[in-house]
A and B are shown apart, each in its own frame.
Chain A
Amino acid sequence: EAEVAQSPRYKITEKSQAVAFWCDPISGHATLYWYRQILGQGPELLVQFQDESVVDDSQLPKDRFSAERLKGVDSTLKIQPAELGDSAMYLCASSVKQGAAEAFFGQGTRLTVV
């Protein structure tokens, strides 16, 4: 069964350092999402791609976060510099473009900033 791959699974970093997360969506899925999930809360959208284009990054803290999906396949989310409040689970998901389709999630990257 096809899966969304994310790495690393866990990351501990010191504040003010840079950190990056990688996601490989299910093959053929044009839409890719990065979500942030704070413990005990629901996922919140950070950025959404349609192929290689960003279609929504309104909730992305652009002073420190960046995301790219250069060839419209895999994607990288970067934080620089990391802050204590960035500690959370970062989830990548993908879906086909059609509106009724569900999103498939990766296992997530648990980030701890110390």
Chain B
Amino acid sequence: AQSVAQPEDQVNVAEGNPLTVKCTYSVSGNPYLFWYVQYPNRGLQFLLKYITGDNLVKGSYGFEAEFNKSQTSFHLKKPSALVSDSALYFCAVRDTRNFNKFYFGSGTKLNVKP
């Protein structure tokens, strides 16, 4: 079965420090991987995606993610965190063999402290 796992329920980081939010995936074919951010009482906003090519993908708001096939990981990163980055982050994988379903992780709450 296709799935993603986010091993950390919460990540705490000081403003200005680098941040990493972890995600690992399990798919039977080529993975299409996504990161979304959710602010309180809002829908999910798309940040970035990996399809193929360069393992480092850049997205919105200065975020980037690194695809690692050998470790089946797709960690979200940002060189310098902002307080406004505090939100809930979801990793997702698209199953292109099964009606293009999206599978979401359980989410990681990012807290950036001033």
Interface set of A (CB-CB < 8 Å, partner B): 4, 6, 31, 33, 40-45, 48, 50, 55-56, 89, 91, 93, 95, 97, 99-100, 102-108, 110
Contact = CB atoms under 8 A, between A and B. Distances in A.
Contacts of A42: 90, 104-107
Given A40-B107, A100-B32, 7 more contacts: A43-B44, A55-B99, A56-B98, A56-B99, A91-B43, A99-B94, A100-B96
**Which size bracket describes the interface of B in this complex?**
20 to 34
A100 B99 contact: no
Contact of A91 (B44, B49, B96): B44
A102 B106 CA distance: 18
A103 B93 CA distance: 11
Nearest to A6: B43
Given A41-B107, A43-B44, A91-B43, A102 B99 contact: no
Contacts of B94: 99-100
B53 to A, nearest CB: 11
B101 A56 contact: yes
B46 A99 contact: no
Contacts of A108: 41-43
A52 B73 CA distance: 35
A106 B99 contact: no
A113 B32 CA distance: 36
A42 B65 CA distance: 19
